[in-house]
Structure 1
């Protein structure tokens, strides 16, 4: 009879195919927490005294991240402020904002709700009504990063932590490789930095945790999470790549790990050869980092307004 590899409990909740490890509920929760905190230490993602801005959507990944980082806050190693961005997706975003608020209140963590409407002058629903040449994910990603960087400065945060998991990272690697977007590949990683003084370091503490395990963790811990998928994401290129990776993982359980490991080995060469040379300027419109006259967010704002 199968039993937990750590404690012998016969009530198994997961068989981790990539490692062959079988765990019960309590041991799985402990394993995930130890894994994430160990990765943070090993990769030096957080230092004592950091103020970490957690991008809290209300989904399983960001909620899990908030609860695990709260262990560091309780030990007075870091301070945390959570920020939820309301993109303005009618019938979808309201519930995520509510769930995010519930989790922040549960932990006694300062929580800010900011909106596309306030920062860029329109919701994603309004933007998409006036756009026919790009999908919503393109706009959303650019604007979310732009807003997070501004809020981080407003809050005096030293790090921005996002809930990107292993599936997300493998998808990003595959997408940019297939599109031939080498510049984007040089920026993918567990830690994103810039020589520009107004740029806040971004970290991904869940980068080595598969999506199915973030979902199971939320379930095992009985965390309130927003499970609905974004209505704009279903037909995106990312969704198609995600489906492909999940299908191939059925027969090759370690494929996403090997994608990540292989990429991390070649990334230093990519950065050396293809990183943009020269100093980064600032956007004439908003003062954020920009390769040209305007940053991408301000360029997009000019298109749809």
Structure 2
């Protein structure tokens, strides 16, 4: 029996983004830290790319992976923030249906790519510390290029069912998304079709990507820690340990909020919506700002190259 008050349509011409429900009056104030984070992320990641390209001494696997991470961070930030800021500043809530699906695809694609890059970086550190004599042989430029291509293909292919399934559904509940960007499950909840396949696939994919990648990262760093304790000299051990520790903090800052957001969408009905949306935004925006600081400024060759460049400009 059909409900006369329900509008049934296929492929709506647009969706309406609410931003952060319950905090609409504070959107302008919320936009200030968001915009600041975005600017720092843009400047930091472009600086990493520029310095690595400029300094031939940095043309090594570690810095190639760092450049991949910087490019991915720029893609994630730029996919989200321009539309979010236009919503916060000018109340531009509408987003075209196909633009919404495109945004949804690229957000999840590049976050999956970033997870793969973390695994590659952990593997690079494992080889560099545990088998340094064979590092250049195992991770040649050709191998690094293959790893990078495999990471991109994995992210592109695994996320492709998201928009392909969403574009086939009919939407009869609403075209209002209680979010500041086109998050996958937020769009799924608007469909009146059977979305179990998409729900199960996205949940399985999240646990597959996060679970498998965290497992490989954990194994790599366990081996690294074992190697650290046999290094000669206390200073060398501490330096290597703190470097690995900062990397693990970055991994945690990326995976834990992501897992929280995924589970909250499905099971966290008691979590206030505005808190969930804020965390969902921050877990995508904070890592692109933190990565250039943790991997760039704290990396001595990059820090040295940056200081040298700044001194040259002053003179």
TM-score (norm 2): 0.24
The higher relative CO (CA closer than 8 Å, separation ≥ 6) is in 2
Give the TM-score taking structure 1 as reference length: 0.25
* Higher fraction of strand: 1
Larger radius of gyration: 2
Structure with the largest fraction of helix: 2
